[in-house]
Chains A and B, each alone.
Chain A
Amino acid sequence: MIGYVVRRLLFLVLVLFGMSLVTFVVSHAIPADPARLLAGLEVTQDQVESVRREFGLDRPLPEQYVRFLGGLLRGDLGQSLSTRRPVRDDLEKFFPATLELGLAATGIALVIGIPFGVFAAVRHGKWVDHGTRMTALAGAALPVFWSGLMLQLVFYRHLGWLPAGGRLPQGQLPPALVTGLYTVDALLAGHWSLAWVSARHLAMPALALSGVMLAGLARMVRSSLLDVLREDYIRTARAKGVAERLIVLRHAMRNALIPVLTVFGLQFGHLLGGAVLTETVFFWPGVGAYAVRAVTTVDFPAIMGAAMLLAAIYVVVNLLVDLSYTLIDPRIRY
């Protein structure tokens, strides 16, 4: 097991190196001059060169890349061209917001998606099955920016139950920093009202973001469970008179979960990187919105930093998923 983890972590280093190289080459291949963009249209060429020197953009590309790698080893991702803050500081600020949103969306997807899938499989071919599939399809098909706006119209504009967006109300300072997840930090600090306020702000974007994952999970659980329920050992259990509830939850679900976990791992990584629209509609200050801004302003260090972070998260989450197989199926050993 330890050898496997070490190998996977070494693989992570390789992935990050490859990612850095590809991102660096691709982002620098874009025909754009970030120094000119930063300096402004009116400025003199002398000023443009001054900005270019300040950010090291005057150096040859291989040198810029080597400097980036050197910084990376020291945990320094450079300075963002657009926010003018260290990229690391920005990511530390924005990633917890995305993580909190992703976790909440995942929670919603798990709590609703898995039971949906189970019901659909157990009531295969019945109206529950069709209804669940239709709902899942709708969840996957609706664009987030549309569902987000609809949620805002209903729950904010008309009902007034939830705030329109953001992580906190105007003027409200965040809780003392521990994890960066406001709900968690507020609870850790014992500020129940702030935790409640944070959770209310989290509700709509998390619901909007959960749609695709929820649909995917429900469908995956359904199909996987259907396959398992046709296995011989399930028939044997039924013949022995084991209650259907126990068959499904204790015997079938465990085996059905392995492919579900695989999909879940992929989707969770995808969800963290793909929360851009949700973050934009709900003005959620996450790393997705940060990455988009970086791309539109040709902010090379920020693009690289965000890409590296998301790649690392993707690989680590999938490693954790792989490791979790051993907990579900004792036959699996690494």
Chain B
Amino acid sequence: MDTVSTGHNAPTTASVTRRRFLSTSATGLGVALAGRRAPAQTGRSPANTLVVGGWSEPRTMDPAIEVDQWGRSILKNAYDTLVDREGGSIELKPSLARKWTISNEGRTYTFDVRDDVKFADGTRLDAEAVRLGLERIRTINQGVAWMLAVVDKITTVNATTLRIDLKERYTPFIETLFWFGIPSPAAVQAHDKGDQAREWLRNHTAGSGPYQLDTWEPGQQILTVRNPGSWKGFASRTPLEAVVGRVIMEPSPQRLMLERGDLDVAQITSVDDIPALQRNSDLVVQADPTILRQYYLFLNTKKGPTADRNVRQAIAWSYDYEAHNQLALKGFAKPATGPFPVEMAGGTIPNIVSYRRDPQKAKEALARSQWPKGGFKLDYYWVSGLSEEKISGELLQSALKELNIEISIQAFAFPQIIQFMAKPETAPHIVPLYTSSTINHPDGFLYFLYYSKGNRNWGFYDNARVDELIFQGRREVDRAKAIAMYQEISRIVTEDAVSINVNRPVNVDYFRKWVKGYTYNPMYIKMFRLREMWLEGKSA
């Protein structure tokens, strides 16, 4: 009996998983996993093991805490959620919840929880397990807990019925449930040292998802193995038996390893490498045009010349959007048409100002300001290491010179930028910001970016009408009315030039041709739904 500890909780299923895995991958990795005392020589991984180059390392595997991209990608495969997405669709589908109803004027959600789901530890999932999982997130109050702040009460009605009462109506609420992975209550209880089992769940998983954590070698690699009992099943008759995520933070080695076949999927490469990778017939370079992410330049509405709307408009008309996309992203970007992505409901906004580079309009806008002839200096801070942000600064410098506006560019580490952005006095006049929404809803952008108390309101924008519309939109059940509100907000903030909406970066995925079943989903940036994937023709 193999006694090596695994990422699973209960010994029974853990050993089954291990045995099953070993029986299906008899060489290389499988032998290596058979015991720490007898590692095998492996140059290449087994044919049914997917090897992914990760660009950072998760902080923890606790689904209540981890929010980083790669960590969420692993957790999304380890834990199931009440609702989920399939294929390339951004619409939510039932998952642990077979269906749900919304009542009490949109404040009560009642879920019909599946009764055929088992955790990897063999225990059964029911409504109470879901409740405990959600309550655990609320108790820990970190990570994804902010999305549950609107929840008043979670009640187990019976084994298959769960009710969630909200403090107030919040129409995008169902979208947030996609983020709450449910751990096995038995595992949490067994490892709870008064910390909600946080220490144990830091490097173990206890979900019902198709791939559970087996081994995590910090700084090196993370191994997840297939949970054959996963209730959703697998798309292929020869599913991935294991997935190895290697911690490789530099793009160059990722590219080299992808080209040589030591990586099946690379998660980072430089845009400069894309043409060469596209010419490689062994690789698939998949550029997907839509992504729920935007890149902005926020203008400080409370400090100095940028407090003047006309100056902000002048900057927005000056900026060279096309040059930006070519210089920074080699054209792998789409123009941003508004303050939230066009792919979202209501994203095509009628009668909105569409800024593009127009020096004449820029001069006219500046002429309307307190500084018709320019002659002032603006600060621009960017996060050191992010070349796109640096290019933005240089483009601003070049464009605003025509308006006799000087730009002072300074690079800082991200933590420092966050600190500067705590108040308008310490914030620069212009700052870049990447934003992606956790929900497929305009609120995921507008609330954070333009609400006067929004956490990412880096323009320090304060408009009572916009605040009012944001909250009305959150409560509005009628979809058409809500869209009209979001479009009105968009027109106001664009007219006020709170932010320069620069672009929507195109998502580029790189993988070997033998990787099959991958479908890009804009809500899963660099997130793989492993149960849908398999390998075809990969040699061990």
Interface residues, chain A, CB within 8 Å of chain B? 30-34, 36-37, 39-44, 46-47, 50-51, 54, 82-85, 90, 93-94, 97, 149, 152-153, 156-157, 160, 163-176, 189, 191, 193-194, 197, 280-283, 285-286, 289-290, 295-298
Contacts and interface: CB of A to CB of B under 8 A. Distances in A.
A223 to B, nearest CB: 37
B146 A281 contact: no
A283 B247 contact: yes
Given A171-B33, A296-B415, A166 B246 contact: yes
B145 interface: yes
Contact of B413 (A83, A160, A296): A296
Contacts of A94: 218-219
10 contacts: A34-B415, A37-B415, A42-B448, A44-B146, A84-B59, A84-B202, A168-B220, A169-B42, A171-B242, A283-B250
Rank and list the top 3 A-B pairs by shortest CB-CB distance, nearest first: A285-B219, A171-B29, A32-B415
Contacts of A156: 256, 260
A285 B220 contact: yes
A47 B147 CA distance: 11
B387 interface: no
Nearest to A156: B256
Interface in B203-229: 215, 217-221, 223
Interface in B415-465: 415-416, 418-420, 422, 438, 448, 455-456
B9 interface: no
A82 B422 CA distance: 21
Contacts of B49: 170-171
B36 A166 contact: no
A36 B223 CA distance: 30
A286 B221 CA distance: 14
A173 B45 CA distance: 13
Contacts of A280: 249-250
B415 A297 contact: yes
Per DSSP, are chain A's interface residues mostly helix, strand or loop, or mixed? loop
A153 B256 contact: yes
Interface of B: 28-29, 32-33, 36-43, 45-46, 49, 51, 57, 59-60, 65, 67, 141-143, 145-146, 149, 202, 215, 217-221, 223, 242, 244, 246-250, 252-253, 256-257, 259-260, 262, 413-416, 418-420, 422, 438, 448, 455-456
Nearest to B56: A293
| Most chain A C-beta atoms within 10 Å of own C-beta, residue among B38, B43, B45 | B43
Contacts of B215: 173
Nearest to B46: A171
Contact of B415 (A33, A149, A157, A169): A33
B6 to A, nearest CB: 12
Contacts of B38: 191
A73 to B, nearest CB: 24
B60 A84 contact: yes
B415 A170 contact: no
Nearest to A296: B413
B45 A165 contact: no
Contact of B259 (A157, A176, A191, A296): A157
Contact of A165 (B36, B59, B253, B259): B253
Contacts, number: 169
A39 to B, nearest CB: 7
| Most chain B C-beta atoms within 10 Å of own C-beta, residue among A41, A175, A290 | A41
Contacts of A30: 415-416
B218 A283 contact: no
A32 B247 CA distance: 27
Given A33-B418, A281-B253, A298-B415, A47 B146 contact: yes
A90 B202 contact: no
Contact of A170 (B45, B146, B219, B420): B45
B29 A42 contact: no
A149 B270 CA distance: 15
A132 to B, nearest CB: 31
Nearest to B41: A193
B40 A172 contact: yes
| Most chain B C-beta atoms within 10 Å of own C-beta, residue among A46, A50, A166, A290 | A166
Nearest to A93: B218
B36 A170 contact: no
Contacts of A168: 220
A166 B245 CA distance: 12
A41 B36 contact: no
Contacts of B29: 170-172
Nearest to A46: B141
A99 B252 CA distance: 25
A152 B259 contact: no
A37 B141 contact: no
A32 B419 contact: yes
B149 A44 contact: yes
Contacts of B40: 172
A13 to B, nearest CB: 30
Contact of A171 (B143, B149, B244, B419): B244
A100 to B, nearest CB: 13
Contacts of A90: 218
A97 B36 CA distance: 18
Contacts of A174: 36, 39, 217
A157 B242 CA distance: 26
B250 A281 contact: yes
